Structure 1
Amino acid sequence: MALLERVGTLLRANINDLIEKAEDPEKLARQLVLDMENQLLQVKTQVAIAIADQHLLQKKLKEHEETMNQWTRKAELAVQKQQDDLARAALQRSLSNQQLAVAFAEQLENQRVETEILRNAFDRLQQKLHETRSTCEMLIAQHRRSRTMGKANASRTVTAAHQRSTALNRLRSTIQRNEADNIASRMMLETDSLEDRLGALEREDQIERLLEDLKSRQPRLT
């Protein structure tokens, strides 16, 4: 049966591999569950039909067995009445129903086997569906967690890069400030040295003037 072949394919499917290799795991997981639910519904319908057919065959078998027994009793009655022709006709009917009963018995046995196969398929597919739902929920959660962690890692990478950039900018600013301070300090030192030299010249000039003044006040030697 095509239905049982489809069910067999679903039962043999490795759900983990299918979902892990899918481009969109969540979409595939939902599709797998939906397919199994649809197949399970079809199998359930076929099981109900098979059971109904089995009951019908049982009913037909019982009817032909009862009819066969009725004609057998009529043949016995005809024999008791020494009505051989009627007995033969009754036995013919009895034999015909016996053959039909045998045919229905064979069909009934085949139907019982088919019904059992469908029931087993239904039970296995129902269990597979339960396992698939659980597996899909777990894998979807893992997939979402992986995506979230990936985004978080990317965010941390950007943040770290930004922090490194900020730290480098702070370091660059510090170096620039230090360089400016050093330049200012050198300028101040150079300014102080210039003032000192000019001051020394002024003092020397003052001393020279004082010396000349002293000399000018000394009596001249004759």
Structure 2
Amino acid sequence: MSLLERVSTLLRANLNDLIEKAENPERLLKQLVLDMENQLLQVKTQVAIAIADQHLLEKKRAEHESEAGEWKRKAELAVAKGHDDLARGALERKLSCDRLVKGFAEQAEDQRLEADTLRQTLRKLEQKLSETRAQCEILMAEHRRAKIVGRATQARQVVGGTQEAALGRMKSRVRQSAAENAAASEILTPDTLEERFQSLEQHEQVEMLLGEIKHRAALASESAK
């Protein structure tokens, strides 16, 4: 593949499509940047060579044009001196130089067009390279931001999980304490009707015995008087 074909392939590349289809867009864009930088150096080299060749061809054209003019002058001089044979030889050399002038002029023009094409390609490639670099920077910034957001989300999840675990443990303790209190209350408080009457009767017996003790104490006190 020629240089211009490789560059044309890079210039036709749709960055958005490539990014969407790539498994690793950041790596893809970095590789594109490297490829474009490499092609850019080659295009710059070709531009310099094309310009140098153009100048060389124009110089050759000018030299042969000057030589043709010199042979024309010599032909005119030979005619003036009556040397037609010399004039014919000089004119033949002039015509040969004219053909060379025409050939070098055509080559110089072709070289100029090629140099112009390479210059335009160079500008387009520089623009595409700038665009790709910007896309790469944007993508890397988004990637870094996504990582930061991901870490923040994980941190919130960890903190939230810790808080939920602590609240869960606290709720469990409260429920256990409530259950223990309820159990103790059940133990201390009579539940059945029989137990409640039994408790009432026991209280009455206690009060009766207490009254008897007080009555005997009162009688003993009166006897002592």
TM range (shorter): 0.7 to 0.9
Shift of 1:55: 0.5
TM-score, normalising length: structure 2: 0.83
Distance 1:202 1:22 in 2: 94
Bigger shift: residues 104-113 or 198-207: 198-207
**3-state SS, counterpart of residue 82 of structure 1:** coil
Distance 2:158 2:17 in 1: 33
Question: Which residue is 1:201 aligned to?
Answer: 205
> Which residue identity does 1:63 align to in structure 2?
E
After the TM superposition, which residues 82-161 of structure 1 pair with which residues of structure 2 at under 5 Å, given as runs? 82-161=82-161
Contact 1:25–1:140 at 8 Å: present in 2 too?
no
After the TM superposition, which residues 18-97 of structure 1 pair with which residues of structure 2 at under 5 Å, given as runs? 18-97=18-97
Aligned length: 211
Shift of 1:15: 1.8
Question: Which residue is 1:217 aligned to?
Answer: none
Shift of 1:176: 1.0
**3-state SS, counterpart of residue 37 of structure 1:** helix
TM-score, normalising length: structure 1: 0.84
List alignment gaps of at least 5 residues for structure 1: 212-222
Map Cα deviations across residues 91-128 of structure 1 (whole Å, 9 max, x no partner). Answer: 11111010011000110110010000000011111111
Contact 1:19–1:139 at 8 Å: present in 2 too?
no
Shift of 1:14: 1.7
> Which residue identity does 1:106 align to in structure 2?
E
Bigger shift: residues 123-132 or 201-210: 201-210
Distance 1:210 1:110 in 2: 143
Distance 1:205 1:52 in 2: 136
Q: Percent identity?
A: 51
Bigger shift: residues 2-11 or 51-60: 2-11
Bigger shift: residues 109-118 or 75-84: 75-84
> Which residue identity does 1:167 align to in structure 2?
L
Contact 1:71–1:93 at 8 Å: present in 2 too?
yes
Question: Which residue is 2:220 aligned to?
Answer: none
Contact 1:47–1:115 at 8 Å: present in 2 too?
yes
